[in-house]
């Protein structure tokens, strides 16, 4: 879940007048689902829908398979395909509080196999399951408005604190995705393999290598799995559409 989305969440949160007595998350699960409709629709207006029933069916079945590995309570996941990913280097699906996920066509082309695609989809679903979006938005209100959220002087460290929280949530989603993909019968190393190939190496920023290292460490705690690969057929269809 990319940090700019939190700006949308923060605006909706402040407008809704939530009770500021629960610092960890101002939103109930029910209100989080209600928020999803408004925020996802705003994102859809900036995206180009991709009409491919076979690809959407594949994503929906894969999503259901991955969701089945999550503990209760869990959200109901809804998927849509989009043709553009707005300069998203990792081609990460856009995840929204409440269970809505936009999957870019570029992810089908960037993933080498179904396990890599599943790892990225599981990562997006893990953000929703852990309620990262509304937790970051809640923290933004606390940092900007003070603990009470009203009449307090803004905290000068807010941007760094929120960015740090978002980075921590990325790592948390990675570890959950490893468990989800393994439980669903996929190679859990696929997510690390995808990051290593697609994420540009930047010696000045250790984030890439740190996340890959943490993923590989988490894999030691899950059992190896066997998986079948339906992905090449869907990938070929998306590639052909992208050429037209």
pLDDT in tens, 17-36: 344 433 478 877 888 877 77
Handedness of CA 199, 195, 8, 108 (dihedral sign): positive
**CA dist., res. 73 & res. 203, Å (int):** 40
DSSP 49: B
**CA dist., res. 89 & res. 3, Å (int):** 14
pLDDT in tens, 210-244: 999 999 999 988 865 656 567 988 999 999 988 87
Measured between alpha carbons, how far is residue 52 from residues 34, 60, 83, 186, 238 in Å?
A: 27, 12, 10, 24, 8
pLDDT in tens, 44-62: 788 899 999 999 999 999 9
Cβ distance 6 to 140 under 8 Å?
yes
Q: Which residue has the higher pLDDT, 136 or 9?
A: 136
């Amino acid at each position: 879940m990319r940090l700019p989305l939190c700006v949308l969440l923060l605006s909706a949160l402040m407008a809704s007048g939530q009770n500021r007595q629960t610092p960890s998350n101002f939103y109930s699960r029910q209100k989080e689902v209600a928020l999803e409709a408004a925020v996802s629709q705003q994102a859809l207006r900036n995206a180009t829908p991709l009409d491919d029933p076979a690809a959407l069916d594949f994503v929906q079945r894969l999503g259901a398979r991955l969701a089945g590995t999550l503990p209760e309570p869990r959200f109901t996941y809804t998927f849509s395909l989009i043709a553009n990913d707005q300069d998203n280097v990792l081609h990460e699906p856009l995840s929204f509080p409440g269970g809505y996920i936009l999957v870019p066509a570029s992810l089908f082309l960037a993933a080498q196999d179904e396990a890599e695609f599943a790892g990225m989809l599981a990562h997006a679903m893990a953000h929703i399951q852990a309620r990262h979006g509304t937790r970051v938005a809640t923290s933004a209100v606390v940092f900007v408005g003070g603990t009470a959220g009203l009449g307090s002087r803004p905290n000068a460290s807010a941007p760094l604190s929120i960015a740090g929280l978002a980075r921590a949530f990325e790592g948390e989603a990675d570890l959950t995705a490893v468990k989800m993909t393994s439980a669903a019968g996929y190679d859990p190393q696929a997510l690390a393999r995808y990051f290593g190939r697609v994420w540009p190496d930047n010696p000045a920023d250790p984030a890439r290598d740190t996340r890959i290292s943490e993923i590989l460490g988490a894999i030691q705690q899950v059992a190896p799995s066997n998986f079948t690969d339906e992905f090449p057929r869907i990938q070929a269809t998306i590639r052909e559409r992208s050429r037209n």
